[in-house]
């Protein structure tokens, strides 16, 4: 069994509304060994795609994204959930992203300065549920006319729509761990990546 699956079984907690809490090692307190192994596995799949930038959304995507970017020696860029006062609207690419866990909408932005048509972008996030965050990042990369190499996910909840939306959009997706069900607070893994 993979390192991440083992850790989810040991330390993950299932909450109502199909939410898996993994904040003891993935997205609050962060275990660098677990994140390093996730980065290695995502790079085994995407590493030869001439990636120039790793793209994510704040806050929980930043740890896996920066780890991958460091291994590749390329910049990591994250979408901000609030537009900095120093950036004008016409200086940003933006889109609306609905948060699955918070049930709120954010207008997320990236400075046009840091993404362009020369870029080959790997999109990374901690979780994939309904694909709002990943599709929002795909939308932003498309506004910049960047090439999207793929979407790399730490934990995919395969019983939700996210993967299908990404596949339907023609984008390659690889998830380190896939969860088939969290029903009755019981976690079942799905096969494949
Ligand atoms: P999506 O945008 O695919 O609907 O949901 C993914 C985003 O919501 C991720 O960025 C993640 O932060 C959050 N998320 C979705 N499901 C879960 C979950 O079960 N547990 C945690 N901790 N975050 C989740």
Q: Say which CATH number the domain at 100 has.
A: 3.40.50.2020
Q: Is the pTM of this model over 0.85?
A: yes
**pLDDT tens figures, 122-146:** 999 999 999 999 999 999 999 999 9
Where does the pLDDT of residue 91 fall: very low under 50, low under 70, confident under 90, or very high at 90 and above?
Answer: very high
Q: Whose CA is nearest to atom 17 of ligand 1?
A: 19
What's residue 152's pLDDT? 99
- Number of domains, the chain: 1
Position 100 confidence tier, pLDDT thresholds 50, 70, 90: confident
| 182 Cα nearest atom in ligand 1 | 19
Of the chain, the percentage scoring pLDDT greater than 70 comes to 100
Q: Separation of 87 CA from ligand 1 center, angstroms?
A: 27
pLDDT of residue 50: 98
Does the pLDDT of residue 1 top 80, yes or no? no
**Which residue range forms the structural domain that includes residue 103?**
3-189
CA of 98 to the centre of ligand 1 (A): 10
As a whole number of angstroms, the distance between CA 114 and CA 79 comes to 11
């Amino acid at each position: 069994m993979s390192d991440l699956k083992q850790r989810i079984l040991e330390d993950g907690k299932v909450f109502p509304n199909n939410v898996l809490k993994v904040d003891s090692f993935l997205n609050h307190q962060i275990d660098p060994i677990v994140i390093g192994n996730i980065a290695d596995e995502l790079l085994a799949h995407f590493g030869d795609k001439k990636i120039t930038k790793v793209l994510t959304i704040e806050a929980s995507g930043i740890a896996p994204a920066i780890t991958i970017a460091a291994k590749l020696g390329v910049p990591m860029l994250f979408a901000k959930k609030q537009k900095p006062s120093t950036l004008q609207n016409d200086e940003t690419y933006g889109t609306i992203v609905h948060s699955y866990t918070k049930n709120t909408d954010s207008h997320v932005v990236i400075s046009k300065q840091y993404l362009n048509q020369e870029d080959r972008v790997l999109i990374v996030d901690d979780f994939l549920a309904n694909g709002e965050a990943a599709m929002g990042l795909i939308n932003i990369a498309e506004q910049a006319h960047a090439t999207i190499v793929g979407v790399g996910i730490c934990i995919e909840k395969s019983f939700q729509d996210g993967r299908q939306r990404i596949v339907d959009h023609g984008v390659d997706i690889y998830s380190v761990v896939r969860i088939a069900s969290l029903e009755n607070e019981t976690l079942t893994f799905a096969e494949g990546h």
